Structure 1
Amino acid sequence: MKKFLLFFIMLIIGNAAIAQQYKSHTVAKGENVYRIAKRYNTTPEAIYKINPTAKDGIKEGQILAIPVTDDQEYKTHVVEKGDTVFNLSQKYNISQETIYILNPEAINGINIGQILKVGKIEKKNLTAIDGAQENKDSVLDSLKVIPEGPKIIRYITHKVKRKETLFGIAKKYNVTVEDIKKQNKRLYSEQIKKKDKIRIPVFAKESITTPVVIDSIGSRITTTTKYKIKPKETKYGIARRHGITISQLEQLNPGMDPDFPIGMEITVPTTIFVSLKDSIQPGFELYKVKPKETIFGILKRTGISSDSLFNMNPYLREGLKAGMVITIPKDTVAVDIPQGQYLDLASKLYNFKPKKVAVMLPFSLDTLNFEAIQETEEYLKNKQSLRIALDLYSGILIAVDSARTKGITTELNVYDTKKNNNREYIEKLLRENSFDSTDAVIGPLYQNNLETVAAGLKKYNTPVFSPASRKESSLYDNFFQTRPTNIMLQDKIISFVEKDSTDKNIIIIVQQGKKHEKIKEKLIAKFPGAKVARIEEGNYLYEVHLNKVLVENKPNWVFLESDDVAMLSNVIPLLSAKAESHQITLFTSDKNSAFDNDSVKNENLSKLHLHYPSVDKEFDEKEVEGKEQITPFTKRYKKEYGIDPNNWAIRGFDIAYDILMRLGSADDLYSGVSFKGTTEYVENKFNYEKKLLGGYYNNATYLIKFDDDLKLTVAEESQ
């Protein structure tokens, strides 16, 4: 156990540096950056960092510098209809296990269009560029674009203010976003932050007076003409009609009045002046952007990929504004998820910017004596919160690595919250560390600490995810409850019974005492015709009283609400003895630990087909011909940590992986949780809804039942 703990502490406190090497790659027909990244075992963001112009698209024959950490390349395969892991293993003469090792994300299934690594490429005279500076520079220098355009006469230093964007800063200084990035290379891979100081180039005004060469879609414009602004016209509209971007229009007109008055004469390209409607190809239509609409919303509405949208409307790369008229496919509708199916966010990934995630859990590292092995092991046995924290964190680490194979890179920052009710210490953590650019926080474990973090990060609108607590927050809009509450679980089982209760004899058996009064009242209110069995003092049910509420001419559906082992040991055998003659099915809104006591036989629960709501599915290894078949997730976890994953480790994986997939398929998490549909991973599923007051809650629950063979199955799934 000490070795297990030290392993995580090493991961928490530092990362090993890896010497960077480069390879040159000539783009082949049909390749994209993501597929190339797969081939060289790197990420799209790493390629974009070295080849910033690749963000605007790559072409066949183009040469890219590829950052690599080894000298190995991989064969890739684009999944087609009918492909399975087994078929691919046969096609490429490799084992299924090898495919899972090369593509950990395949444990959740493979999808059409997904890119998989399917074996290593044998080295045949491959030109590897080692870490020597002259070779490294030769690859990078071969990719440099000789700058063209106006001459820079000086620079202005701009201090970034809160909420400023590169687009806004570029507009302020009458330059393009690309002009700023060229002078601040780190901005190709990083976002600007408050108080950043960036260099803004100032161009010589006379350099624009010469004819300007402007690239447009499929054309190169070399001649210009004069144009007078008409009523209701906008920069965007004029640029769009002439096949150029707003930045290109502004470059043609450096002294243009920002108010854009009617009658003002401006310079525009001559050769591609076309009617907006005439420029639309068959099968497409014009769409006017509504106020507050986002690119993410348009992608969701149309069901097309971001690449397709930007190819049709390249000027969108400069930002989306209300009133813009863009091109979209005809007859597009919002993509709905069919009943019984789950939302696959991995197929919607487009935002490959590095994600910044914070993990805040009670590791209590300051209280451990690592020199005393026996003392440490005893502490771990008795400290439940630390065990849960380590398990959650172990799952989170695998989620981060799995997301990386999809092209989503993550900067993971880990903070020790130490103990419950630790407000002053946590506020100090928030003050002393930068959270303004953090995409999400997982944790803390305890509700009080969660509220403190949510309050402290509310000013940044940073999402804070509760991994364990079932308590909701009515105070903070940035609070995300990942575990459905007890009320949701109750409503799940009640709703299931309500749907099919017409010809059923509903019976209510509830433990005496204030603790169970609310659920008893709720059940009676929902089923006014139900029969309530008489319970004696000491929570005992006589057979004669059970006989009074049972009937033989129709099914008996029995609600049993109790956490008293003695009561369950009395009632369940009575019901089991009459299960066949009276068609009894057992339900409970709370399958607590009393149901797992040895006095309560699973054989009886199976005979009664007990139904109960659950936050997660039980992790059940499959058996084929009597032999246990370990799932890929368990195999990977066991290989990594030497033990089988428990529910908390699986929960850590599911929560973190879902967060990263939502960040990769939207502009931010608030957009990412607006998808219609439910996501599901190993044992947990997520469908977030916004509360009227407060943050978000997860209403995705399972309905589990005991089958005849003592196995648990999902009876119905909440979508």
Structure 2
Amino acid sequence: MKKFLLIFLLLIVSGSTFAQQYKSHTVAKGENVYRIAKRYNTTPEAIYRINPTAKEGINEGEILAIPITDDQEYNTHVVEKDDTVYSLSKKYNISIETIYLLNPEADKGINIGQILNVGKIVKKDPTAIDAISEKGKESVLDSLKIIPKERKIIRYITHKVKRKETLYGIAKKYKVTVEDIKKNNKRLYAEQIKKKDKIRIPVYEDKPSPGETIKNPTDSRVSATTRYTIKPKDTKYNIARRHGITIAELEKLNPNMNPSFPIGMQITVPTTIFVSLKDSIQPGFELYEVKPKETIFRILQRTGISADSLFKMNPYLRDGLKAGMVITIPKDTLTASTNFDVTKEKYIDLSKNLYNFSPKKVAVMLPFGLDTLNFEARKDTEEFLKSKQSLRIALDLYSGVLIAVDSAKTRGITTELNVFDTQKSNNEEYIKKMMAENDFNETNVVIGPLYQTNLEIVASELKKYNTPVFSPASRKESSLYDNFFQTRPTNVILQDKIISFVEKDSIDKNIVLIVQQGEKHKPIKEKLIAKFPNAKIAKIEEGNYLYEVRLNKVLDKNKPNWVFLESNDVAMISNVIPLLNAKAESHKITLFTTDKNNAFNNDNIKNEHLSKLHMHYPSVDKEFDNKEVEEGEEVSPFVKRYQKEYGVDPNNWAIRGFDITYDILMRLGTADDLYHSASYEGTTEYVENKFNYSKKLLGGYHNSAAYLIKFDDELKLTLVE
């Protein structure tokens, strides 16, 4: 209370040149400064000027002084999936035109998480707003003591829970809150709802509708206006910012405004000045309007400044970046970097642009199979560990996760890690029970499970929270869930990687296709023929065998021969590779495959032959062996750390666990959430894996970043792309 009085005393002493009005506001759960500003039709900057400590964050129950432009408050709505302007107009009983009038930025479309004004709040206490005076100060302080009255329940509705229903969905259906339902069904504070449960839904006494239709433009955000004459160096940006409105609102106030913005022209602006031009823009800085879908990360890259600098200049950005915001940036930084196109950059380093240092809640779900381990019998346990491949993979992945969490901590990103044992594949009943017994509402991301069937179950259960689920191992995508992230490039992406490479330089090449018989290899054969219609196709005999005479017919002595070998049959590969190797003496032959499967690693296939043929293939990771470090070559920091922690070299799964987790934590540190980070244009790379996520038309996100590797001379693996 003392702190609140001090704020008002400072305001009185400062001697404002205009009669500003203020209102007290008690911060509710989940509110941020941006949402509060929307409610009172002011700006985050204006709230920060009156409540400077709010820059460090606000807490539930805290009291803020709110500068206001008119005697009005508005209901706000956080945009959810499937929301449209039309559906919101129906939900809040207001017209579409009203939503656009209250939210000019909605003309460009609405996005999940966006905060909209959705109608006026009918006020009950007109004395709550007073000008800054002794009397006004007492009125505001007295208003803080008002205790909201409980709404009167006139009856109850009994609702029988249906399959896949959630408390949130039920509350939305009956136009009550989740808390209203829990208050009248006490067991729901400790239990999850289940199918066929019967719960009581309160019906409250009717009250005036919170969403009131605005009948004419004078009831809009700006109630009092004045005329302003354009001065030298004035821009739409600084005028809009000075008066606490967006550029779109300024243009709506002045529909016939001359687009050249000449000096001396008069325009209409709000009477109240929120931020003085002198305070808002200093020498060496300029104003910039945030574009639709623009991100903080994108602005940092385009300007070349640090996240700390950007937030120091624009503290309200900690509450989120929105299209139409006018922010301060160093002068000429944007102009100087206009030609910088991040898509031309092969890789992006997220660690240089960290700004979101809130603790990250990460859940890891892997099949440790602890329910089948006999810890009493050490010999049995050791045998079990040796025989259970999924457990070995899970342990290796998890060891990499732990190193990633520790590494991110050194960059200021702290992690709350929760680990869950999924036990086995296709374990629906157990996983649903496990998830029902734990709270995932605040979880930022789930890494795992390992098996596709379990992944689909977890993604389905967490869809209601919009929690991202990252698949660490499976190559199968999900066509059902938008919150599913596929970290391994799919077979199609790997195929396209090498086909694109060959296609770029195939004009003077003799393309040869050697494809295994059978339905399984028919799709890749058709795909290669479609891409290379002039390719020569080697005839494969029954039993997947190639005769030398058949090979001679498709090879060309006068051109480089680029040969695709598509097979997972060890016998066929061990037949074809020696034939090609023998012909390499008289023909220029380069070998390609879209799928270097385990058959190529068989002892019957000599790596010397693959090296001589310079075989090219796509890969999820670099496939370099960290254990064989040549003299003078530096060991990666991850490998050193892993060796120190566990006393052994990391295998591919441990490296993968590190790369996936560290990338996730870096993305969370440079974005509001992982969906936001998926919009980055560029590829991230760590020890042996790289990531470039994009949204599929149906389903979740896939990783399109893959490597192209070739066998070089002396059995060396070389990274081509």
Please classify the TM superposition score into its range, dividing by the shorter chain length. 0.5 to 0.7
1:352-387 Cα distance to aligned partner (Å, 9 max, x none): 111111111111112111111111111111211111
Matched, 1:554 2:559: yes
Whether 2:539 is the aligned partner of 1:527: answer: no
Structure 2 Cα separation of the partners of residues 181 and 265 of structure 1: 24
Contact 1:358–1:414 under 8 Å retained in 2? yes
Q: Distance in 2 between matches of 1:660 and 1:538?
A: 50
* Contact 1:466/1:481, CA 8 A, preserved across alignment: yes
Instruction: State the SS of the aligned residue for 2:397.
Output: helix
Report the CA distance between 1:629 and its aligned residue: 6.0
CA distance in 1, matches of 2:228, 2:596: 65
Which residue in 2 is equivalent to 1:148? 6
Which whole-Å deviations, capped at 9, do the CAs of 1:46-71 have from their partners, x for residues lacking one?
xxxxxxxxxxxxxxxxxxxxxxxxxx
Name the structure 2 match of 1:697.
702
Q: Deviations over 1:2-23 (max 9, x none)?
A: xxxxxxxxxxxxxxxxxxxxxx
C-alpha distance in structure 1 between counterparts of 2:64 and 2:278, whole Å: 34
Instruction: State yes or no: 1:344 paired with 2:341.
Output: no
1:673-707 CA distances to partner (integer Å, 9 max, x unpaired)? 21111111110001111111111110111111111
Post-superposition offset of 1:285: 3.6
Decide whether the 8 Å contact of 1:280 with 1:327 is kept in 2: no
Q: 172-181 or 647-656, which moves further after superposition?
A: 172-181
Q: Equivalent of 2:493, from 464, 481, 488? A: 488
What residue number does 2:411 align with? 406
Counterpart residue type for residue 550 of structure 1: L
Task: Tell whether 2:283 aligns with 1:281.
Answer: yes
Q: 1:683 aligns with which of 661, 676, 688?
A: 688
For 2:344 and 2:296, how far apart are their aligned partners in 1? 27
From 426, 430, 441, the counterpart of 2:431: 426
Kindly indicate whether residue 319 of structure 2 is the aligned counterpart of residue 395 of structure 1: no
Q: Which residue of 2 aligns with 1:251?
A: none
Change (3 A) 1:574 1:208: same
Count of aligned residue pairs for this structure pair: 526
Q: Within 2, Cα distance between the matches of 1:365 and 1:689? A: 36
Question: What's the offset of the Cα at 1:394?
Answer: 0.4
Q: How does 1:272-421 map to 2 (within 5 A)?
A: 279=281, 281-282=283-284, 284-290=285-291, 293-314=294-315, 316=317, 320=321, 322-328=323-329, 329-330=331-332, 331=335, 332-333=337-338, 335-337=340-342, 339=344, 341-421=346-426
Matched residue SS, 1:560: strand
Tell me which of 227, 230, 255 is aligned to 2:226.
230
- Counterpart residue number, 2:444: 439
2:585 partner SS = helix
CA separation of 1:306 and 1:182: change in aligned 2, threshold 3 A: closer
Change (3 A) 1:232 1:623: farther
TM-score (norm 1): 0.65
Per the alignment, residue 160 of structure 1 pairs with: 29
Match runs of 1:14-29 below 5 Å: none
Offset of residue 546 of structure 1:
1.2
- What whole-Å deviation, never above 9, does each CA across 1:72-113 have from its counterpart, x for those lacking one? xxxxxxxxxxxxxxxxxxxxxxxxxxxxxxxxxxxxxxxxxx
Q: Percent identity?
A: 68
Q: How does 1:569-584 map to 2 (within 5 A)?
A: 569-584=574-589
**Secondary structure in 1 matching 2:7:** coil
Work out whether residues 622 and 629 of structure 1, in 8 Å CA contact, stay in contact via their aligned partners in 2.
no
More off after superposition, 530-539 vs 391-400: 530-539
Aligned partners of 1:180 and 1:200 also within 8 Å: no
Give CA-to-partner distance per residue, 1:370-418, whole Å, 9 cap, x none.
1111111111112111111111110010001111111111111111111
Q: Counterpart of 1:458?
A: 463
Q: Does the CA contact (< 8 Å) of 2:27 and 2:64 recur in 1?
A: no
How far apart are residue 159 of structure 1 and its match? Answer: 5.9
Alpha-carbon distance in structure 2 between the residues aligned to 1:182 and 1:626: 56
For the residues of structure 2 that align with 1:479 and 1:579, how far apart are their CA atoms? 46
Deviation, 1:536, is 1.3
- Residues 609, 707 of structure 1: 8 Å contact kept: yes
Deviation per CA, 1:258-292, whole angstroms, max 9, x where unpaired? xxxx99976879xx66598xx5635x443234456
Whether the aligned pair in 2 keeps the contact of 1:622 and 1:628 (CA below 8 Å) is no
- Equivalent positions of 1:207-226 (< 5 A) are 208-209=132-133
After superposition, what is the alpha-carbon deviation per residue over 1:623-679, rounded to whole angstroms, capped at 9, x for unaligned?
Answer: 787588644322221221122111100000000011111111122212212111111
* Deviation per residue, 1:439-468 (Å, 9 max, x gap): 111111111111111112122221111100
* 2:563 counterpart SS class: strand
Distance 2:227 2:463 in 1: 43
- SS at 1:704's partner residue? strand
What is the RMSD of the two structures over their aligned residues, measured on CA atoms? Answer: 4.0
Distance 1:639 1:147, change over 3 A: farther
Contact (CA 8 Å) 1:301, 1:334: kept in 2 or not?
no
Q: Alpha carbons of 1:576 and 1:453: their partners in 2 closer, same or farther (altered >3 Å)?
A: same
Alignment TM-score, normalising by the size of structure 2: 0.65
Aligned to 1:103: none
Gaps of 5+ in 1: 1-143, 213-226, 245-261
Structure 2 counterpart of 1:566, one-letter code: A
Letter in 2 for 1:149: I
Relative to structure 1, the CA distance from residue 426 to residue 300 in structure 2 (aligned partners, 3 Å threshold; closer, same or farther) is farther
User: Match of 2:604?
Assistant: 599
Distance 1:319 1:494 in 2: 42
CA gap of 1:263–1:372, structure 2 versus 1, over 3 A, is: closer
Distance 1:650 1:210 in 2: 66
Q: Counterparts of 1:676 and 1:563 in 2: how far apart (Å)?
A: 36
For 1:527 and 1:232, the matched residues in 2 are separated by 67
Q: 1:296–1:667: 8 Å Cα contact kept in structure 2?
A: no
* Amino acid paired to 1:459: K
Q: Distance in 2 between matches of 1:365 and 1:179?
A: 56
Measured in 1, the distance between the counterparts of 2:490 and 2:312 equals 44
Residue of structure 1 equivalent to 2:204: none
Mapped partners of 1:433, 1:344: distance in 2: 35
Shift of 1:336: 2.8
The answer to whether 1:472 aligns with 2:477 is yes
Q: Distance in 2 between matches of 1:656 and 1:589?
A: 28
Asked whether the 8 Å contact 1:167–1:177 carries over to 2, the reply is: no
What amino acid is aligned across from residue 559 of structure 1 in structure 2?
F
- Cα distance in 1 for residues equivalent to 2:460 and 2:474: 17
Counterpart for residue 649 of structure 1: 654
Q: What letter is aligned with 1:589?
A: T
- Mapped partners of 1:424, 1:237: distance in 2: 59
* Aligned counterpart, 1:613: 618
Task: Quote how far apart the aligned CAs of 1:428 are.
Answer: 2.3
Query: Is the Cα contact below 8 Å between 1:484 and 1:615 reproduced in 2?
Result: yes
Residues in 2 aligned to 1:455 and 1:365: alpha-carbon distance in whole angstroms = 25
* Contact 2:360–2:415 (CA under 8 A) maintained in structure 1: yes
**Retained in 2: the 8 A contact 1:659–1:669?**
yes
2-structure distance, mates of 1:604, 1:263: 77
